[in-house]
A and B are shown apart, each in its own frame.
Chain A
Amino acid sequence: MRARAATLVRSSWIQLLDRLSITERLVLLLIPPAIGGAVVTILAAALVGPAFVDFLAANLPLVRFFVAVVAILLLTVPTAFVIIYMELKVIARMNLRVGPNRIGPWGSGMSVVHGLKVLIKEDFAPTGADLPVYTLAPVVTFLASAMTLLVIPFAPGLFGQDLNIGLLFFFAMGGLTVLGLLMAGWASFNKYSLLGGLRSAAQMVSYEIPLTLSAVGIILLTGTMSLNQTVLAQSGSALDWFVFKQPLAFLIFFIAATAEANRTPFDMTEADSEIVAGFATEYSGMRFGFFFFAEYVNVFIVSALTVTLFFGGWTAPFDWPWPVSLDPIDAWAAGPAWIALGLGAAILGADVLAVVIRLFGGRAWSIPAAFGLGFLVSGAALTALLLGACFIAFDWFAGIVWFMAKAYAFVFVFVWLRATLPRVRIDQLMGFAWKWLLPAALLNLFITAAAVILLDR
């Protein structure tokens, strides 16, 4: 009887567990370790906290560097997801297809699912592959392209490191990408990979030169290689952007950057109709995923650098008609512009949210109810956002918005190119780099140098 009662009790526990969904069970499982972790953290903070804080304060540059590296590595994940989704959806629209529309609203979860798929696939290495090199190649490619983000200024005061040789660091790190591709091509023990790797070496080394030379003109103009100083030199209005002072350099830079990021029409290294997948032919699972990630992060990085060098970085294209820094107390004094802006944004947000609620809530929500809820939610969100923005610094907020808007405009151009253009041939590619881009870059450099000398005089 006793044993029977025990089984009954156990089974009732199991029954209780069975009623929970998998998420709820996970949460239930995570509660004890969370409590334990919190207790340990509090104890540790009480015991060694002050000494640790002192240590951190003494090594502030080092701390800043590590935090920046971690933040940038974390930033690459959503960036890659957003660009993959953009590519899927935009190319689909240009092909008159629907594109992903099943996972998440408008299929926006598709790239996450892509990432998970890659994560759970078998990690396969062919017989005869040079295993250490084969394993390191994706890491080198990914880290080399991700680390270039360190010097990009996202907003005033928001950057990884303000190196005085920022641009040089960028090109040096970007140049390391080719090493990873060459390693992958060599170590895969596959002829397609080898051809892809050699193609990438030839292509990226050739395009590195016009890319760098076209940026030298800007160094002459600003007198510094720090990207922060470059952005500050372009502050003011859109007319101060370097694209108007260096139009030829911008064209050369954009073309060379397309080749540098291995994008259509210069995607020779992974030309699927010729050499299957180039250097990535033998890769599978997350190793392939890292190449994939690196490619999309590269697109963002190249766009970000184009924006930083030629389109004013985080600066706004016009002078703000309202005060830039905003005290919460001075909000009323700042003028009716803010109130109009807030009201307009709240109404727009209400419209959007009402549509979303109607879409996902179905017939349970009448239209006025949906609009009311939408107005409340969007108003609350907007107020929180504004207050938060005022509290942190409005400069950061506006800077990030402008920077991301400009950068993603260029990402869109890259996606657009991919949907439209066929691939060039390897000899045309090399000929274009050495016969056209390089002389044009040199010409641009000479003209800029002459102008700087003459105007300075």
Chain B
Amino acid sequence: MPRRADRTRQPGPAEALPAAGPRPSLDDPRVMLDRQAGALFEEIPPYPARTEREAEFYTPTEGELFLNIGPHHPATHGVMRLVVKLSGERVVDVDPVLGYLHRGVEKICENSDYYHVIDQVDPLEYVSSLFQEWAAVLAFEKLMEVEVPQRAEYIRVLSAELLRVQSHTLYMGFLALDLGGLTPILYSFIERDEIVEMLAALTGARMLFNYFRVGGVNGDLNHEFMSRLGDWMSRAGKQAEANAALLNENEIFVRRMRGVGVLDRATALGYGVTGGNLRASGVPFDLRRVHPYSVYPQLDFNVPTRQEGDSLARYLIRVDEIRESIRIIDQCLHQMPDGPIMAPRLPRLLRPKPGRAWGAVEGPRGMLGVYAVSDGTDQPFRFRIHDPSFLNLEVVPHLLPGNLLADTMAIVASLDPVMGGIDK
């Protein structure tokens, strides 16, 4: 019986330990002596710098301190690492390190058929996943040359704008959380939960919807969704104002946001920043207006723009956009036509003609595009996702130097990055 044998087993002769290496000499420059603790530390030898920028960054001058913010830090919105060079409390330079969440989604999409791609792009930017689906579906519809029924377009706009409200509400909460406010995030999550439950009644899922299809949407509006939506719409505007008032009228919040991380118009355009961050710098670029898609030309809404370009402007743009989105939802409900929700006569396995297509939508964080190349098979030959968060995050090394350590959080949070989309 092996068990009994185990129990009676005697310890064998001790195995020879590996011979201890030579103790590092105290004269070795890599060895640092901590006299108080009496402990020896061997510094990890640095690897050779790969670029000039890296060599310059990692050579600290007198009185400078490197601080790793992340990858696990309460305020980095996922797994991002900011190597911050500090002089006192002031940030001298910053080196963002990305890629902790890289999953190779684009490559996976190239090995999936066209229906599965919609499933794969969902978890990229997990806060507002319908927009990725929409961009992918737009590109595939151009490849397939499908006409989408009007009702399906309205349903798409309706659900996507709901999700935009949800994303911006969460943004407000997380921004306040990064500035030390405890309460707004919970109020945001109340709003988010209502919207997400509503969409769950429509699509069957709370976060990763898999709802849009090439040529339409997966299901028609149902009773539970409509009743929840009506309930929410009856107080959505008032609730949004109340949530915003908690922050807008708070002197501490406004003083920490105003004039911090000013992104001027030229820099924003140069870095390719889009979305609310660009509109806060005074460029009225909104894909729903400048390159209209779906039924947006038939809807009446404003593109809120601000000139300051600081964190407060970026925040206020989001607040204004919540109002506009609620207006759009209201119009969608009034203009919603009857009819089918899927284009007729679509094959079970999509095989578009060889060609290339670019589909882009205005996501909550900016222009979200999908570039797809078809070679005539049932899988895209090339599939590329243009994520706005990635470009928005690129301005961080430009914005941070000169600000205080505490402003790092205000600036990064005000740019609204979602690491799932950035690392892909």
Chain A interface residues toward B at CB < 8 A: 91, 94-97, 127-131, 189, 191-192, 195, 199, 264-265, 267, 271-276, 418-428
* Contact status A422-B409, CB under 8 Å: no
- Chain A residues with CB under 8 Å of B181's CB are 420-423
On whether the beta carbons of A128 and B404 are closer than 8 Å, the reply is: no
Q: Provide the bound-state CA to CA distance between A428 and B406, in Å.
A: 11
Q: How far is the CB of A159 from chain B (nearest CB, A)?
A: 36
* Chain B residue contacts of A422, Cβ below 8 A: 176, 179-181, 250, 252-253, 256
| Residues 26-41 of B at the A interface (beta carbon under 8 Å) | 34, 36-37, 39, 41
Please indicate the chain B residues that have their CB under 8 angstroms from the CB of A274 in the complex. Answer: 75, 405-406, 408-409
In angstroms, Cα B404 to Cα A420, docked, is 23
Looking at the assembled complex, report how far the CB atom of A282 sits from the nearest CB atom of chain B, in whole angstroms. Answer: 13
A273 contacts B180, C-beta separation under 8 Å: yes
Q: A95-B183, A423-B180 are in contact. List 13 more A-B contacts (CB 8 A).
A: A95-B186, A127-B39, A189-B37, A272-B180, A274-B405, A274-B409, A275-B405, A419-B183, A422-B176, A422-B181, A425-B407, A426-B404, A428-B255
A425 and B178 alpha carbons, distance in the complex (Å): 12
State the CA gap A426–B408 with chains docked (Å): 13
B interface vs A, CB < 8 Å? 34, 36-37, 39, 41, 65, 67, 73-75, 89, 176-183, 186-187, 190, 250, 252-253, 255-256, 404-409
CB distance from B32 to the nearest CB of A (A): 10
Q: Which residue of A lies closest to B185 (CB)?
A: A95
Report yes or no: B74 in contact with A272, Cβ–Cβ below 8 A: yes
User: Which residue in B37, B89, B182 is a CB contact (below 8 Å) of A426?
Assistant: B89
A276 touches B74 (CB 8 A): yes
CB contacts (< 8 Å) of A192 on chain B: these are 67
Q: Which residue of A lies closest to B260 (CB)?
A: A425
Determine whether the beta carbon of B406 is less than 8 Å from that of A425: yes
Contact check: which of B37, B177, B187 meets A130 at CB < 8 Å?
A: B37
Q: Which of A191, A276, A425 contacts B404 (CB 8 A)?
A: A425
- Number of interchain pairs (Cβ within 8 Å): 88
Q: Which are the 4 A-B pairs with shortest beta-carbon distances?
A: A423-B180, A422-B181, A273-B75, A422-B179
Q: Which of A97, A128, A426 contacts B186 (CB 8 A)?
A: A97
Tell me whether A273 and B409 are in contact in the complex, defined as CB-CB below 8 angstroms, given that A128-B39, A418-B182 are known contacts.
Answer: yes
Instruction: Say yes or no: A421 contacts B74, CB within 8 Å.
Output: no
Q: Which residue of A lies closest to B256 (CB)?
A: A425
What separation, in Å, do the CA atoms of A247 and B107 have in the docked complex? 68
Across the interface, do A273 and B178 meet the contact criterion of CB distance under 8 Å? yes
Report B-chain residues with C-beta under 8 Å of the C-beta of A95: 182-183, 186-187
Closest to A419 in B: B183
A94-B183, A418-B182, A423-B180 as given contacts; A271 in contact with B406, CB under 8 Å: yes
In the bound complex, how far is the Cα of B79 from the Cα of A425, in angstroms?
Answer: 25
Neighbouring B residues of A191 by C-beta, 8 Å: 65, 67
In the bound assembly, the distance between CA atoms of A275 and B41 in angstroms comes to 24
A–B Cβ pairs within 8 angstroms, 14 of them: A96-B186, A128-B34, A192-B67, A195-B405, A273-B178, A273-B179, A273-B180, A418-B182, A420-B183, A423-B180, A424-B252, A424-B255, A424-B256, A425-B407
A127: shortest Cβ distance to chain B, in Å?
6
Name, among A273, A421, A428, the residue most crowded by chain B CB atoms within 10 Å (CB to CB): A273
What is the bound-complex CA distance between A127 and B181, given in angstroms?
34
Q: Are A419's CB and B180's CB within 8 A?
A: no
With a cutoff of 8 Å between Cβ atoms, the chain B residues found around residue A127 in the complex are: 37, 39
User: With A and B bound together, what is the CA distance between A418 and B405 in angstroms?
Assistant: 22
Bound CA–CA A95/B190 (angstroms): 10
CA A273 to CA B76, docked complex, whole Å: 9
Most A CB contacts (10 A, CB to CB) among B41, B252, B255, B407 go to B252
Rounded to whole Å, the gap between the CB of A252 and the closest CB of chain B is: 18
Q: Chain A residues with Cβ under 8 A from B253's Cβ?
A: 422
Least distance between B24 CB and chain A CB atoms (Å): 16
Q: State which of B65, B74, B178, B182 has its C-beta within 8 Å of the C-beta of A419.
A: B182
Residues in A whose Cβ lies below 8 Å from that of B73 = 276
Closest B residue to A97 by beta carbon equals: B186
Would you give the shortest CB distance from A265 to chain B, in whole angstroms? 6
Chain B hits for A418, CB < 8 A: 182
CB distance from A259 to the nearest CB of B (A): 13
Tell me the complex Cα distance, A127–B36, Å: 12
- Complex interface: chain B residues within 8 A of A419 (CB): 182-183
Q: Which residues of B contact A199 (CB under 8 A)?
A: 89
Q: When A96-B187, A195-B405, A425-B407 are in contact, do A130 and B180 touch as well, CB less than 8 Å?
A: no
User: How far does the Cβ of A202 sit from chain B's closest Cβ, in whole Å?
Assistant: 9
Q: Is the CB of B180 within 8 A of A265?
A: yes
- Give the contacting residue for B74; candidates A97, A273, A423; CB below 8 A: A273
